[in-house]
């Protein structure tokens, strides 16, 4: 049986991977249960946004008995755009558009997501966990579709309420430990590297947004998704062509992007962590100036150092209004844009200008 959900099909090299088969089954079963339960605002949003992402109709009945709270704008907008012929929300599936070597992605539901910490100005990279803010201990049970034990840690797999990529999920280690979104222990890198290595799927990908790099929740987590027959971030072709070892990616528009390739042989996690510690030290010396993203593949870790989100607020409110906040996906060349008009009019030159502004000087 092919592992396929709507318009996204896993690559043949993923089909027989034991972890991926378990993940896929849990992911699909959880969505089916969410569609039937409709017990909370978040559950309704999960089913609606994922139905739309995979190309299925969104029943308006999902939202009729839900009290709007955190996602009021999405729910009200949906109920104001109902097709009476079949009682579904009038909303088109997400659309990708090639823009030079990059991709512009428009997703109507994602355009309505709460930004949380992702646009906060005063947000040091090592900000402590705040139990009063939204965190993953507050999610509803249907939002967690899989939990496993790995190397003594409990791994919780949560639906990303507003998926950007196929099977886009949140991987939260030891969810009840309430750790901040900060890598201050090499064990946090070792664990995720061992996880992706042991999963054994060449198409499994992990993303990480530090605070100040448009992370929306200050609780330690990674982003998880899959390359499929129709989805692959633009940066990957360049990573594949890089030699093994530690190399700066001079052909990528985000300056100082560094590839660690051949972990365990030509390079090591110690080298990755050493670079993170240097970034942390610089960020602590000058708060709200430096942040970073990570992009993790089975064969490499890509470090994407960049300016803190507070340094280019004016740009996001003016010429950069086509993006709600460039996080790990945008740093890999896959740009979520905020409106259909922006997607139609966005140029390669505008994207390159965004990288220039976000790059460390």
- Domains held by the chain: number: 1
The neighbour count for residue 91, using CB atoms within 10 Å, is 19
Q: Which residues contact 253 (CB under 8 A, 6 or more apart)?
A: 351, 352, 355, 356, 359
The neighbour count for residue 69, using CB atoms within 10 Å, is 10
Would 124 be classed as within a structural domain?
yes
Would 29 be classed as within a structural domain?
no
Would 328 be classed as within a structural domain?
yes
Averaged pLDDT in 10-residue chunks for the chain of 361 residues: 89 94 96 76 91 94 86 92 95 94 95 72 93 91 91 92 96 96 96 94 98 95 96 96 96 97 92 97 96 97 97 93 94 96 97 98 88
Residue whose C-alpha is closest to residue 204's, from 214, 215, 216, 192: 192
Alpha-carbon separation of residue 190 from 158, 180, 264, 268 (angstroms): 21, 17, 11, 10
Distance in angstroms (rounded) separating the CA atoms of residues 228 and 231? 5
320 neighbors 354 (Cβ within 8 angstroms): yes
56 neighbors 6 (Cβ within 8 angstroms): yes
Domain of 194: which CATH number? 3.30.428.70
- Tokens 């605070």, residue? 211
pLDDT at position 68? 83
- Tokens 């930004």, residue? 115
233 neighbors 245 (Cβ within 8 angstroms): no
Would 115 be classed as within a structural domain?
yes
Alpha-carbon separation of residue 238 from 234, 251, 258, 264 (angstroms): 8, 8, 12, 21
Helix 72-79 × helix 41-53 angle, to 10°: 60
Sheet (strand 290-297) strand order: 144-150, 153-159, 169-173, 222-226, 204-209, 290-297, 300-307, 258-261, 245-248
pLDDT at position 1? 62
H helices of the chain, in order, are: 12-15, 18-37, 41-53, 61-64, 72-79, 186-199, 235-241, 269-285, 313-317, 328-331, 340-345, 348-358
Q: Which helix (H) or strand (E) holds 113?
A: none
Would 81 be classed as within a structural domain?
no
Would 342 be classed as within a structural domain?
yes
pLDDT at position 39? 65
Distance in angstroms (rounded) separating the CA atoms of residues 225 and 163? 9
121 neighbors 313 (Cβ within 8 angstroms): yes
What SS3 state is found at 281?
helix
299 neighbors 203 (Cβ within 8 angstroms): no
Chain centroid to CA 9: 19
190 neighbors 270 (Cβ within 8 angstroms): no
Domain hosting residue 243, numbered range: 92-358
Phi, psi for residue 149 in degrees, rounded to 5 = -110, 125
CA distance between the termini of the chain:
50
Distance in angstroms (rounded) separating the CA atoms of residues 196 and 174? 17
Q: What is the DSSP letter of 217?
A: S
pLDDT digits (tens, 9 = 90+) for 135-145: 999 998 889 99
Residues in the chain: 361
């Amino acid at each position: 049986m092919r592992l396929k959900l709507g318009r996204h099909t896993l690559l043949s090299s993923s089909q027989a991977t034991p972890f991926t088969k378990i993940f896929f089954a849990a992911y699909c079963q959880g969505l089916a249960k969410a569609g039937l339960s409709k017990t909370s605002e978040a559950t309704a949003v999960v089913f609606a946004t994922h139905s739309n992402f995979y190309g299925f109709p969104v029943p308006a009945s999902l939202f009729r008995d839900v009290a709007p709270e955190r996602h009021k704008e999405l729910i009200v907008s949906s109920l104001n755009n109902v097709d009476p012929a079949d009682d579904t929300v009038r909303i088109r599936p997400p659309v990708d558009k090639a823009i030079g070597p990059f991709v512009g992605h428009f997703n109507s539901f994602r355009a309505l997501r709460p930004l949380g910490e992702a646009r906060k100005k005063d947000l040091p990279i090592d900000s402590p966990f705040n139990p009063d803010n939204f965190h993953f201990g507050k999610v509803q049970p249907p939002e967690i579709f899989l939990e496993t034990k790995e190397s003594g840690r409990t791994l919780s797999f949560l639906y990303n309420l507003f998926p950007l990529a196929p099977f886009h999920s949140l991987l939260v280690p030891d969810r009840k430990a309430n750790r901040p979104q900060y890598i201050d222990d090499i064990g946090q890198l070792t664990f995720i590297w061992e996880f992706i290595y042991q999963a054994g799927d060449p198409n499994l990908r992990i993303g990480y947004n530090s605070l100040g790099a448009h992370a929306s929740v200050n609780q330690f987590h990674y982003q998880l998704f899959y390359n499929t027959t129709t989805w692959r971030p633009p940066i990957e072709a360049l990573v594949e062509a890089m030699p093994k070892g530690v190399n700066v990616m001079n052909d990528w528009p985000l300056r100082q992007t560094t590839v660690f390739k051949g972990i365990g042989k030509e390079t090591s996690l110690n080298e990755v962590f050493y670079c993170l510690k240097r970034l942390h030290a610089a960020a602590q010396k000058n708060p709200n100036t430096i942040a970073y993203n990570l992009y993790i593949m089975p064969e490499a870790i890509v470090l994407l150092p960049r300016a803190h989100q507070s340094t280019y607020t004016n740009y996001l409110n003016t010429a950069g209004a086509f993006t709600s906040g460039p996080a790990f996906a945008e740093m890999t060349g896959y740009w979520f844009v905020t409106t259909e008009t922006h997607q139609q009019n966005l140029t390669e030159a505008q994207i390159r200008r965004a990288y220039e502004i976000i790059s460390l000087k």
